[in-house]
Structure 1
């Protein structure tokens, strides 16, 4: 009985650590919603800053994986890293920055804004919802949940409608975003969501 209780305690502790990491990681994710504001005021400067940030992260993360800790950057990476990323190069921030930069370069300001907000809120909130109260698993998706997908759909619909004020486009973008998010793409949904959803708005708007 003591061993059983001990195992439950260990499992609960691991779940809490995982949830805390997810909240921290997705808080960073959601903060990318501020990028369109910076793009509207200083488009080229913002893109340059994002490129510099991405390069600095790649250098710092490469050093970390080789045993050379970089103050602050390595601490943040370690605090946000998933279990699957332990002792590996954490790719998420690279695809996140690359997706935002690509969307900002490829599409108009409003289309890029839709893609970036979908990444910030749709992908970010989907993971939090799935981890917090997700119960119904979607088969073949590495543990993603119906609750997370519905949260993703709702978040993308609301953010897209806020930008476009077009219900049909918002439904189309939200549906596409939820389908992309539910796929087992690991960190590459950070790249696909802003590019593809921004492209949809650019084509149909």
Structure 2
């Protein structure tokens, strides 16, 4: 039977995976992708505010609140905003393949790392005890595989390494911002 912590993490990462919706939108229209992505920031902010004011809107708010970790229940959680801002600026500043690769990494590799870390993460990383070697290994493998959609294998290895190192940042939640910006920036440099 799956424990509560793992169930919560899976729900939480389903939201992360929704970031992939911006990849086809980006290929369709950068402007549309940026408008929709930018619109998520005030929506999330309002949702958090309304929940704090004890307004219960049916559907969306209870789901988002269920995705919070126990220590996040009574605080404003910035992690989703960091991710949206990171994805927004990756789409704004980087060529489509580099931005798409960055979005795939922050959406899929981060989700896989978190789920693996919660399920199997026994060996903690010394500079960030909230992360495990098992989760980081999952991030690297998934990041490498998704990078292959946009880059050759040599560059994909480098981008996976960059994403994995950025994901291990010791500042809570900031990995959601620095992974898309860092991976997208290195991806742009690799494109020449």
TM-score class normalised by the smaller sequence = over 0.9
1:32-87 C-alpha deviation (Å, 9 max, x unpaired)? 22321111112211211122222111112122123333332321221100122121
- Alignment of 1:127 with 2:114, yes or no, is yes
After TM superposition, give the deviation of residue 118 of structure 1 in Å.
0.8
8 A Cα contact 1:138 1:144, kept in partner = yes
2:48 corresponds in structure 1 to 61
1:152-203 C-alpha deviation (Å, 9 max, x unpaired)? 0111111111111x22211111111111112222211111101110000101
Give the unaligned 5+ runs of structure 1.
1-11
Give the unaligned 5+ runs of structure 2.
none
Q: Distance in 1 between matches of 2:40 and 2:59?
A: 14
2:137 corresponds in structure 1 to 150
8 A Cα contact 1:161 1:167, kept in partner = yes
1:113 corresponds in structure 2 to 100
> Alignment partner of 2:101: what SS?
helix
**Aligned length in residues:** 191
> TM-score when scaled to structure 2?
0.92
Structure 1 counterpart of 2:91, from 75, 79, 104: 104
Q: How does 1:113-192 map to 2 (within 5 A)?
A: 113-164=100-151, 166-192=152-178
After TM superposition, give the deviation of residue 150 of structure 1 in Å.
0.7
1:66-116 C-alpha deviation (Å, 9 max, x unpaired)? 333333232122110012212111222211211111100010101101110
> TM-score when scaled to structure 1?
0.87
2:179 corresponds in structure 1 to 193
Q: Distance in 1 between matches of 2:126 and 2:54?
A: 38
8 A Cα contact 1:50 1:101, kept in partner = yes
